[in-house]
Amino acid sequence: MTEPIAYLNGQFVPISRASLSVFDLGIVAGSSVTEMTRTFRHVPFRLNEHLDRLEQSLKLVRIDPRVSRDELVSICERVVSENHKLIPADHDLGLIVFVTAGQNLTYLGLSELSRARTPSVCVHTFPLPFELWAERYETGLHLATTSIGSLPDDVIDTRIKHRSRLHWHLADVQAKKVDPSAMAVLLDQDGFVTETATGNLCVVEGGTIVTPSQHVLHGISREVVADLATSLGLSFATARVTPDDLARASEVFLTSTPNCMLPVTRFNNNPIGQGGPGPVFQRLISAWSKLVGLDIIGQMRDGARSRLNVPSDTSGT
């Protein structure tokens, strides 16, 4: 095998052949739900929790994937088992599952009603692009608020992990006008901080880690941090968080599946704390590394060099 495989609508195919119809509602209307996990040492991390959340999303949007939970687990395991053979032994994969609502009836007509109502189910992987995050463990992320707010729960329930992302794109474009390096963090209709397009926010206040309590996706990586914080004797709480809380925090970080945790070092063009990764972040990422049996930051650094063909020792020239 020289090409990764994917599962699409009942078949395992080379990734280059895993294509959706232009009539698919995932493309036409953004009507799809999704999950992503990553592997550590080629084993999917907390796959069951991600599939639990996928099932919840599917129920809320009333899509029947017509694939059982056991079948989906088996599909994920096979795709990972085949595709990890194509990457270096010390690299890992992102694993994606998505389900769309079917195809657009307007394009197909009533004679194709059954086809229109048949969802598309896809499972695929990609090599983790370590180079996107490796430096951020030292320099941190920049965040900015925008005039674009989070979607109210009566528009799209925040328990749904979906691919309707246009508002995030517009918000990120606006955030870059504040700070060219920033991504958007959205406020809810009452002016409280919610989340970014890629992860949950955690704010360190007086030794307590606080994460926004409303209008946010229930993050699995956030739950890992909550568990690790408890094991380290750190307090973890959910509460309403204001932009002022964010601005005066001693530390801020994001939790997200592919990179686990990343520090946030600037907010609305002002430094957070000392302007670098803080001690709570360092303790937590170290504990996460112990949990999965590898140095997460080290893997990101070495993997980035490998993918960019940069020698490990760059101190000479």
- Asked if residue 163 lies in contact with residue 32, where contact means CB atoms within 8 angstroms, the answer is yes
Closest CA to 224 of 16, 40, 69, 66: 40
Helical H segments across 179-259, by residue range: 220-231, 243-248
Q: So what's the pLDDT on residue 206?
A: 83
Place of tokens 């930051």: 297
Residue 310 neighbours by CB distance under 10 Å: 11
Closest CA to 90 of 37, 47, 42: 42
Q: So what's the pLDDT on residue 137?
A: 98
Domains of the chain: 5-128 (3.30.470.10), 136-141+197-302 (3.20.10.10)
Q: How many CA atoms lie within 13 A of 254 on its CB side?
A: 29
d(CA 2, CA 278): 43
What are the residues facing 143 on neighbouring strands?
183, 267
Helical H segments across 120-219, by residue range: 136-139, 166-178
d(CA 188, CA 92): 35
For the chain, residues with pLDDT lower than 50 are 314-317
The Cα-based distances of 1 to 13, 76, 78, 205 in angstroms read: 12, 18, 14, 51
Q: Can you say whether residue 174 is alpha, beta or left, with left for phi > 0 and alpha for psi between -120 and 50 degrees?
A: alpha
What are the residues facing 100 on neighbouring strands?
32
d(CA 13, CA 103): 21
d(CA 32, CA 25): 8
Q: So what's the pLDDT on residue 313?
A: 57
Q: So what's the pLDDT on residue 317?
A: 36
Residue 293 exposed, middle or buried by CB count within 10 Å (0-12, 13-18, 19+): exposed
d(CA 290, CA 296): 9
> What is this structure's pTM?
0.94
Q: So what's the pLDDT on residue 316?
A: 42
Cα end-to-end distance, the chain, whole Å = 38
